[in-house]
Structure formats: structure tokens, C-alpha cells
Amino acid sequence: MPEKPRGRERRTTPNRTTAIDVAKAAGVSTATVSRAMQRDGVVSQATRQKVREIAASLRYRPNSIARGLARRQNSLIGVVVGDITNPFYPEVIDRLTKRLTNAGLHTMLVNMVDGVDIEETLSPLLQYQVKAAVFVAAPYTSDACDICRAHHIPSFLLNRYVRRRDITSVTCDNLTGGRLVAELLINAGHRKLAYISGRPDTSTNRDRAKGFSDALKERGHGPCIIEPGGTYSYEAGYKAALRLIQAQHEIDAVFCANDIVALGALDALRHALGLKVPNDISVIGFDDIAAASWPAYDLTTIRQPLERMIDVLVSAILRGDAADSDKNPSLVTIPGELVARSSARLSERPVAAAISLSPSDGESDRL
């Protein structure tokens, strides 16, 4: 007898144990179960022990997010990212989520993509009424913050800022970092310097370019040669470096908007154009991603103070700084650190390190 064709088999999983199941097994109310599972819940020690033993045997785990919503004490933080192809940001997300967890907070990760409706992208954050939203390299940040504000969700920016006082931002001191790179290259005797830019609508790109250009002008080098990269990517750096040299600018040093752009530029200069780095041309990046230290690149760069930036950001979230922007700083910048490797010819003459104003010095006025 021919076998009947099988339909699509459905996998079944056991129903998740709920507080109701625990309450029935323990002979108590669900409210008692809730109090017994809370560290500060008012319930007798005998009842607490009984409920917890039964909960453990049934493998019951309370839904802390749902409980937080009910008590209006949500511990969920929305982290919105938009440039996960840049190697810098997976490291940022890894460190940030670990720091939030250590602070007793939970993380909801949302990827914001160009061209997708902003409110639709943010809908999970709005639905769960997150405690705060942290934007990390996300596009349309100002509009997204407006949506969060309309839903009473404080917004925080990491490694970006917008020109608004109602949003707390924490960044590296990109302006002074750009100045430091220019000073280092000039003191080492470089005479024809260029900047390969990243995404033009980002504060990081604008500040690094401005700091670099301003320092060159102040030292009498005239306007900086700027080659648009367009994005923060390896391909952008590779193509921009080719254009710079093929335009016969006689460049002897290149500052790149970030490390991944610099790695592309390095490969173009050495392998496609046959130049010797740093004898013929020096290359400096910004971020200090893991690949920057690889022997194949050994990139000189400005290291972002990522741990410190995240500590400041999480402390601001826990304090609820964004709820009172008149009393708290809207922008905190933290100095970066030069990491000298073999991709740049630098002088042994010391250069003043990047200096950043503390929040009490009113740095937010720079916006």
C-alpha cells in the first residue's frame, strides 16, 4: 500500500512555565509568587523558600522586562546602530552591552537602515517603553530622537553628537584629535598633507577634518587637500588613495577619517601604486580597531577611549541626565590617545597630547 504523502511536520515545544503554574503548585497566589521571587518582596522566609524551590523544580524564570513595565521601572535599553559593517562598531556594541548588563540593565539591539521608515524601525523600542535609547552611528539621529522624545524615552548618543541641548552625547575629542595628527605630521617634516573623509553628515568626520585643517592653516600650510571617501569603508579608502596619487598632488602624508578607511588606503598605496610606507608617504587613522595592530598594517592611529566613553554614557543613563538637560551636559568629549606604529614617519619631538574640557568646564557650549 503506497505511503500517504506527509504534510509539513510541526515541531512542538513544551509550554513555558508561568507564575500561575508555580502558584498552583505552591498553593499560593500569583502575587505571592511575584513577591517571593523579588529580592525585596514582602513575604515570610518560609513561603519565599517554598516558592523558590518549586519555581526551580518547574524551571520557572520571571520575566523581568514585563515586571519592570508593570512597575514602571523598565531596565531595558534600546541600542540603535546603523554601521555594523565598520569593524569599530561590533566592538562598541560588545563592550556597551556588557557594561549595561553589569549595571543591571538589559539590551534591545535595533539596526537602523537608510531608506527604511524611522518610526517603523524604532517600533520595538516604543512598544516596550525602553528606559532609554542609545544611538550608535545611526542615520537620521535627530529625527529618531524626536520620535523617542514624543514617547517620553530619553535619547543618548555615543561617538556622535547633534546640535541640540536636549540630547546627551558622549564622544572622543575628535576636533583635538585631528589637530594632534596635523601637529605630529608637520613636526616630522611632512609638507603635502591630505585628508580622506568618511561619511560627510557625521560629526566625527566633520570634527576630525576641521581639527586637521585648522592646525595646518595655523602652521602656515594653507588649505588641506580633502579627498571625499563618502563612507567609512575599506573600499572608500582604497579608491580615494588612488585618486589622490593619480591626481599628482605629490602627497607625503594622509590622515584618514577612521581606521578601516586607512587600511584601504594603505593597500592601495603599497600594492596598487608601489609606494613605500612610510618612506614615500605616511598614513594615520582613527579608532584603533583590532586590525590596525596586525603586522600587515601596523597602523599609526588615534585610539578612542572607548571604555571611558561607555562608562560616562552608562552613568548618565543611570542618573537620567537627559531628563534635565538644563542641569546636565549635553556633550561630553574625552581625549584620545596616539598609538604610534610603523605606517607613519613621526618626529621624536614631543607634541602636546589631546586636551578635552571636563563637563564642568561647559564643553556643551561648543555645540
pLDDT band of residue 139 (cuts 50, 70, 90) is: confident
Same domain, 290 and 227: yes
Residue 214 lies in a domain: yes
Same domain, 198 and 273: yes
Same domain, 125 and 167: yes
Same domain, 288 and 189: yes
Same domain, 213 and 348: yes
User: Is the predicted pLDDT of residue 361 greater than 50, yes or no?
Assistant: no
What average pLDDT is seen over the chain? Answer: 84
Same domain, 48 and 181: no
User: Is the predicted pLDDT of residue 357 greater than 90, yes or no?
Assistant: no
CB 239 within 8 A of CB 268: yes
Which of 1-10, 59-68, 207-216, 227-236 bottoms out in mean pLDDT, i.e. has the lowest?
1-10
Same domain, 123 and 221: no
Residue 291 lies in a domain: yes
SS (H, E, C) the chain: CCCCCCCCCCCCCCCCCCHHHHHHHHCCCHHHHHHHHCCCCCCCHHHHHHHHHHHHHCCCCCCHHHHHHHHCCCCEEEEEECCCCCCHHHHHHHHHHHHHHHCCCEEEEEECCCCCCHHHHHHHHHHCCCCEEEEECCCCHHHHHHHHHHCCCCEEEECCCCCCCCCEEEEECHHHHHHHHHHHHHHCCCCCEEEECCCCCCHHHHHHHHHHHHHHHHCCCCCCEEECCCCCCHHHHHHHHHHHHHCCCCCCEEEECCHHHHHHHHHHHHHHCCCCCCCCCEEEEEECCHHHHCCCCCCEEEECCHHHHHHHHHHHHHHCHHHCCCCCCCEEEECCEEECCCCCCCCCCCCCCCCCCCHHHCHHHHC
Cell 548588563 belongs to which residue?
101
Same domain, 33 and 81: no
Residue 124 lies in a domain: yes
Domain of 51, in residue numbers: 19-62
Residue 206 lies in a domain: yes
Same domain, 219 and 345: yes
Same domain, 273 and 289: yes
- Residue 98's domain is classified under what CATH number? 3.40.50.2300
Instruction: Work out the percent of the chain whose per-residue pLDDT is above 70.
Output: 84
Same domain, 138 and 42: no
Instruction: Work out the percent of the chain whose per-residue pLDDT is above 90.
Output: 55
* Number of residues in the chain: 367
Residue 108 lies in a domain: yes
Residue 36 lies in a domain: yes
Same domain, 273 and 157: no
**Shortest CA distance to 35 belongs to which of 19, 24, 58?**
19
Total domains, the chain: 3
256-277 pLDDT per residue, tens? 999 999 999 999 999 999 999 9
Strand partners, 339: 301
Highest averaged pLDDT of the listed ranges 54-68, 83-97, 100-114, 278-292: 278-292
pLDDT at residue number 360: 35
Residue 243 lies in a domain: yes
